[in-house]
């Protein structure tokens, strides 16, 4: 028997219409010939919602003992399964369940229904999602007694947001369509303040947007789509630990916040690791990135430019933010410009180069076999080797008739010795 599917209607607060949408979908399924059973529906005193119960089979809930000794309604799973329904309607997934201990939720009763091949249509409020419960508590001042794990909600085949503006919700409350006027107390008034409703609405919108983003990324991976689709901004910033890199990170965070996008930081480290004085700054910059809402990553690569480009493509970044190069002109001529190489290789993303701030960094060190040689010594050694030796050879050729055979060899030795000392790490 094929497993049933789970469809969840998500709302920002009570009264947005999740129960109404669930029952309306049940009526549509019944009109198409499906056997629809109502496992649980909280209609309260809402006449329009109650009208949607007509024609649908309803299973009387069983009552279980809550932790405080009171009896609460729960799904009668055995009675529902005996009816062999095609569709089961279950309101309030976070409510007290019929099985398990005192902390068990109604969402845990869904599994046997799905395993029996029934499609389940359910409802939930954003405050009842486990990862957001602490955020909602700070917004509303009221803690939810029961929550549903994020993984359970995210695994649903369909999640539909039932949205309503704060103004419309407050009108419904004023007209007694959510709670009877005589039952509206200070707690309910606080929950239905415009600012509180706006915050809950934004949480619901962002949570659904994240879920849609996950589905989109799975689709793109399944269809081998590597190009970035600018459905949502994703800002990648290079975290280097260099002086002034905190300015670059803050600028990237402002870009991400302005565009309601995601901030991702990346640090490129060489295969041999690193033990630099900038490590303490790198730790500070990583912590700054996290405080600004970003996610930190490290990649291994000997070529900084290609590693940054590869990471940006893998993350499907829409913007890449880097700091201006502090390398000398000689280094850029000798090893190429990192900025120019990134600009040439980067595709489907914009690049932002942030001007360097703060005092200049110490002169870079060149690595030779795992140890370090200052760039000044390295340059002088290469000048002696590449210019001194050819000049000495020309002088020796011109004076070959006036000197012995041992003199050129001694001159070469005297020139090669200081070059070797300059290029050898200490």
Residue 54: band (very low, low, confident or very high) from pLDDT cuts 50, 70, 90: very high
pLDDT score at 43: 84
More confident residue, 391 or 59: 59
Query: Pick the residue with more confidence: 180 or 201?
Result: 201
Q: What is the dihedral of CA 109, 115, 116, 122, to 10 degrees?
A: 50
pLDDT score for 425: 62
The lowest-confidence range among 91-100, 119-128, 144-153, 280-289 is 91-100
CB of 12 within 8 A of CB of 201? yes
d(CA 230, CA 245): 27
Q: Does the structure show a pLDDT above 90 at 115?
A: yes
The whole-angstrom separation of Cα 79 and Cα 89 is 14
Six token digits for residue 25: 């979908």
User: What is the DSSP-derived secondary structure letter of residue 36?
Assistant: E
Residue-wise pLDDT tens digits, 330-368: 555 556 678 888 888 888 788 999 876 555 555 444 444
Most confident of 115-129, 272-286, 401-415: 115-129
* pLDDT for res 220: 61
- For 89, phi then psi, to 5°, come to -100, 125
At a CB cut-off of 8 Å and minimum separation 6, what does 182 contact?
none
Residue 426's pLDDT is 55
Say what the pLDDT of residue 66 is.
Answer: 67
Asked whether the predicted pLDDT for residue 379 surpasses 80, the reply is no
What pLDDT was estimated at residue 217?
A: 61
Write the CB contacts of 418 (distance below 8 Å, at least 6 apart in sequence).
Answer: 381, 384
pLDDT of residue 336: 65
Mean pLDDT of 226-251: 80
pLDDT for the residue numbered 3: 92
282/392: higher pLDDT: 282
Please name the residue ranges forming H helices in 35-165. Answer: 47-51, 77-82, 110-115, 133-140, 150-154
Question: Residue 372 pLDDT > 60, yes or no?
Answer: no
The token pair at 101 is 């201990």
End-to-end CA distance of the chain: 74
Q: Quote the pLDDT of residue 105.
A: 83
**Residue 117's pLDDT is what?**
95
| 3-state secondary structure at position 301 | coil
Which tops the pLDDT comparison, 143 or 366? 143
pLDDT value at residue 163: 92
Rounded Cα distance between 276 and 259, Å, is 35
Please state which of the ranges 30-39, 75-84, 173-182 shows the lowest mean pLDDT: 173-182
With beta carbons less than 8 A apart as the criterion, state whether 62 and 76 touch. Answer: yes
Mean pLDDT of 123-137: 90
pLDDT given at position 275: 44
Average pLDDT over residues 184-207: 85
pLDDT band at 370 (very low <50, low <70, confident <90, very high): very low
Structure token pair of residue 116? 């029996």
Q: Residue 221: pLDDT band by 50, 70, 90 thresholds?
A: low
Q: Taking 60 as the threshold, does the pLDDT of residue 400 lie above it? A: yes
Is the CB of residue 318 less than 8 Å from the CB of residue 228?
A: yes
Contacts of 175 (CB under 8 A, 6+ apart): none
Which residue pairs, CB below 8 angstroms and at least 24 apart, start in 412-420? 415/384, 415/388, 415/389, 416/385, 416/389, 418/381, 418/384, 419/381, 419/384, 419/385, 419/388, 420/381
Give the least confident one: 138-152, 290-304, 364-378. 364-378
Please name every residue paired with 235 in a beta bridge, in sequence order, or none if there are none: 263, 319
Phi, psi of 115 (to 5 degrees): -65, -30
Among 188, 197, 181, 107, smallest CA distance to 142 is for 188
pLDDT score of 263: 93
Residue 167 has pLDDT above 90, yes or no: yes
- Band (pLDDT 50/70/90 cuts) for residue 322 is very high
Mean pLDDT of 181-208: 84
Triad 334, 336, 338: Cα angle to 5°: 140
Comparing 326 with 45, the larger pLDDT belongs to 45
Task: Give the pLDDT confidence score for residue 366 in this predicted structure.
Answer: 47
Determine contact, residues 192/169, Cβ cutoff 8 Å: yes
Over range 317-337, report the average pLDDT: 73
The average confidence (pLDDT) of the chain is: 81
Rounded CA-CA distance 316/313 in Å is 5
Q: Is the pLDDT of residue 223 over 50?
A: yes
Rounded Cα distance, 291 and 287, in Å: 6
């Amino acid at each position: 028997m094929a497993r049933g599917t789970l469809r969840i209607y998500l709302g920002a607060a009570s009264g947005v219409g999740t129960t109404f949408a669930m029952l309306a979908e049940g009526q549509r399924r019944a009109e198409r010939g499906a056997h629809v059973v109502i496992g649980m529906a909280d209609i309260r005193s809402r006449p329009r919602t109650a009208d949607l119960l007509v024609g649908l089979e309803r299973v009387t809930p069983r009552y279980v003992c809550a932790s405080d000794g009171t009896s609460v309604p729960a799904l009668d799973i055995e009675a529902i399964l005996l009816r062999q329904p095609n569709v089961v309607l279950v309101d309030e997934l976070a409510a007290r369940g019929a099985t398990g201990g005192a902390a068990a939720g109604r969402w845990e009763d869904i599994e046997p229904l799905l395993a029996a091949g029934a499609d389940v249509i359910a409802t939930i409020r954003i405050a009842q999602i486990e990862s957001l419960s602490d955020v909602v508590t700070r917004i509303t001042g009221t803690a939810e007694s029961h929550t549903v794990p994020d993984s359970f909600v995210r695994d649903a085949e369909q999640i539909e947001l039932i949205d309503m503006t704060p103004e419309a919700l407050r009108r419904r409350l004023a007209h007694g369509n959510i709670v009877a006027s005589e039952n509206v107390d200070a707690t309910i008034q606080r929950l239905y303040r415009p600012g509180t409703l706006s915050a809950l609405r934004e949480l619901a919108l962002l949570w659904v947007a994240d879920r849609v983003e996950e589905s989109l990324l799975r689709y793109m991976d399944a269809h081998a789509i590597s190009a970035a689709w600018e459905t949502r901004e994703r800002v990648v910033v290079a975290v280097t630990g260099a002086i002034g890199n905190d300015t670059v990170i803050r600028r990237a965070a402002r870009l991400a916040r302005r565009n309601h996008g995601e901030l991702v930081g990346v640090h490129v480290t060489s295969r041999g690791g690193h033990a630099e004085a900038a490590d303490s700054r790198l730790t500070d910059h990583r912590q700054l990135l996290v405080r600004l809402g970003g996610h930190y990553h490290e990649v291994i690569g000997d070529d900084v430019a290609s590693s940054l480009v590869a990471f940006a493509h893998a993350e499907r970044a829409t913007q890449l933010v880097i700091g201006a190069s502090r390398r000398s002109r000689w280094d850029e001529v000798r090893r190429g410009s990192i900025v120019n190489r990134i600009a040439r290789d980067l595709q489907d993303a914009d690049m932002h180069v942030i001007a360097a701030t703060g005092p200049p960094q110490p002169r870079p060190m060149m690595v030779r076999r795992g140890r370090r040689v200052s760039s000044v010594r390295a340059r002088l050694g290469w000048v002696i080797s590449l210019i001194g030796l050819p000049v000495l050879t020309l002088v020796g050729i011109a004076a070959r008739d006036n000197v012995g055979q041992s003199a050129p060899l001694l001159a070469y030795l005297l020139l090669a010795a200081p070059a070797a000392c300059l290029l050898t790490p200490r």
